Amino acid sequence: MKHFIKYFILSLFIQFAIVSAQQPAFPGAEGWGKYTIGGRGGRVLEVTNLNDSGPGSLRYAVDASGPRTVVFRVSGTIHLKSDLSIKNPYITIAGQTAPGDGICIADYPLKIDADNVIIRYLRFRLGDKAGLGADGDAMSSRYHKNIIIDHCSLSWSIDETMSLYWCENLTIQWCIISESLYSSTHEKEEHGYGAIWGGKNSSYHHNLFAHHSSRNPRFVSGSGNTDFRNNVIYNWGFNSIYGGELHDQNYSESPATRINLAANYFKPGPATKDGVRNRIVAPSTRNGLLDYGKWYVADNYVEGSPETTQDNWQYGVQNVYPQYKDSIKSDSPFDYMPITQQSAEEAYLLVLDSAGAILPRRDAVDKRIIDEVRNGYANYEGKTYRVKQGFSKDHPVTGIIDSQEEVGGWPELKQGPVQVDSDHDGMPDFWETENGLNPQDASDGSSFAENGYTNLENYLNSITSFPDFIPTPSDLRGELIDFSKVKLSWVDNAENENGYKIERGIISGESEIVFELLAETEKNTTNFIDFSAEELTTYYYRVAAFNDSLSSDYSDTLIITTLSATSPPLKANNPIPFNKESFVSLTTALEWEAGLNADYHEVYFGLQNPPPFVKTVTENYFKPGNLEYNTKYYWRIDEINSNGKTTGDTWYFITKKICLPK
């Protein structure tokens, strides 16, 4: 019986694997990686914070084992403190689930060191803050199989922006690869490269390359059957596409290079050198004829060069020894996995409309890049490329940058409303109810529907847009400016609000807070004074933004208790020197903002914590006398009136160091 159960379970698993292997990763998955399984049928892991590590972080979900789908309950930029490596197979990362403006990965690379990986709708904008060198790719992978990267945006790399090669059954589709850093922290100095691609059964379609000096992409030696079609290449510098040697000398298993370059759109820009403006590809060799790969080059469109568009091979295939050029040409395409293909001109329009992390919405970087491609110009450049490549001072802005800071750095990605998911199965309650599922049953997410996808996958695949929202006001604070006058302040995170509504609540019954509308303000307001509060009452405040059709989530609730003439004073605050301040003058005075209703102040000051009592004063000012170099001093102010004393917080500062003559 045990053997029967064992073989029965094994049989079910094999059947599941066969069915999954025949099911596209998602509707619209195409190319050699289209049948990637990812995390299908596995558990759901929620990303609930933007931390580098720990429970609720992206790293925590990536490091988990077993089939898993990663969904997001937060939007924003994750500033990594080390490489993020996918080491365990069978994972789907669904960036389209982020509520708000989406997710960006910054500072360190994503490395795919596992098979069966699906990544969709994420941004990988590396930047130079970590000082990386040759390992500074925004995303990379080698020697793995069954991978599909869909609708991702990658930029600001130190080495290449997106290098996935010598992988098998790989698709990269509908991605934006832009603005690699030309003169940054790479050991070899100038780089600014787009990608290294190629591998056994690899597909690259409907991607956009923009603002790279070279490698748009470079095809690796030993690329095998590599298919590159319906891509857009804009503003390459001194080289567009090259590489593709027949075999790799250091990778004995590399298959012979057979590359299709079909129906791509080439648009030179202000950084493109005159000698390569009509270049489609420069096939590479190390040993003459025996080391060239084989190439099928057809139906590519080169803007500004009608003769190259008419005859790709004669005019667009360059830097090949003339006596060998005909021998590396194929008149028919090599074996490839068909995609939904358009003409180069049609693909150009589709890529500009739909490439990159368009879900939950395009960020400011991608919007700018698309505008620059569409209109054939650039807004920014670094200091190096123009000089190194010999462009004149009056030449248009090149678009080749040295640092992300030159284009404004990482844009703020705002948080949107989080949909209720009671059973944490990755599907919001409203969607489960609409589709006949149980919002209280976490197991139904991994159940298969009639179309061959799990219910969770059907939800993920149903996300085609994220509704407009108003960002929630944050950092709500309050202070008493009189016994019963409350001043509120908050951070305005919205750009599309008509105003803010302030609600005030009190406890009704045992524990329920009953809120009522207190006031509505105009747009761009960040403070409000409540003149109607009563003395000796505890109030609960919250704030939300609104416009004609939408309202944001409420801010965190603020609790304030009003005072009366018979109340002890509030704490002193706003110390000078600031708490934990360093390099303080030896002759500094102590100052503070007196607590409401304080008549006089007890000063505590010294080298110990808690500090000893020194003096009682009536002014919010005290001169401790001459101090010692490089010494930590603690101090505290207790506020006093006839109704009592309020003990203050303990602060400290460190005096400046003595500077010895050199």
Strand partners for 85 = 111
Q: How far apart are CA 314 and CA 325, in angstroms?
A: 9
User: Contact at 8 Å (CB) between 217 and 241?
Assistant: yes
CB 271 within 8 A of CB 378: yes
Residues paired with 485 in a beta bridge: 482
Cis before 27? omega within 30: no
Is 190 in contact with 183 (CB distance < 8 Å)?
A: yes
Reference 215, options 177, 169, 256; nearest CA is 177
Q: Give the Cα separation of 175 and 355 in Å (integer).
A: 5
Which residue, 415, 409, 403, 416, is CA-closest to 368?
Answer: 409
Cα–Cα distance, 593 to 575 (Å, whole number): 7
Identify which of 89, 102, 112, 318 has the alpha carbon closest to the alpha carbon of residue 199. Answer: 112
Burial of 328 (0-12, 13-18, 19+ CB in 10 A): buried
Q: State both tokens at 395.
A: 């030449």
Q: Where are the beta strands (DSSP E) in 40-167?
A: 43-47, 68-72, 76-79, 84-86, 91-94, 103-106, 110-112, 117-120, 123-125, 139-142, 145-150, 153-155, 162-165
Torsion 368-373-378-382 (CA) sign: positive
62, amino acid identity: V
Residues forming the active site = 215
For the chain, the first-to-last Cα distance in angstroms comes to: 87
Closest CA to 114 of 93, 138, 133, 98: 93
What is the three-class DSSP state of 365?
helix
Which single residue is written with the structure tokens 């395009």?
A: 362
Q: How far is CA 163 from CA 177, 210, 219, 314, 645, in A?
A: 11, 15, 10, 29, 66
Nearest in space to 356 (alpha carbons), one of 174, 105, 99, 170: 174
Give the integer Cα–Cα distance in Å for 219 and 274: 23
Look up residue 452 and give its two tokens.
């061959």
Instruction: Report how far apart, in Å, the C-alpha atoms of 393 and of each of 100, 425, 626 are.
Output: 42, 58, 58
Identify how many contiguous H helices and E strands the chain contains and give both numbers.
9, 43
* Residue 566 identity: T
CA dist., res. 234 & res. 559, Å (int): 55
Q: Which has the closest alpha carbon to 203: 222, 178, 230, 179?
A: 230
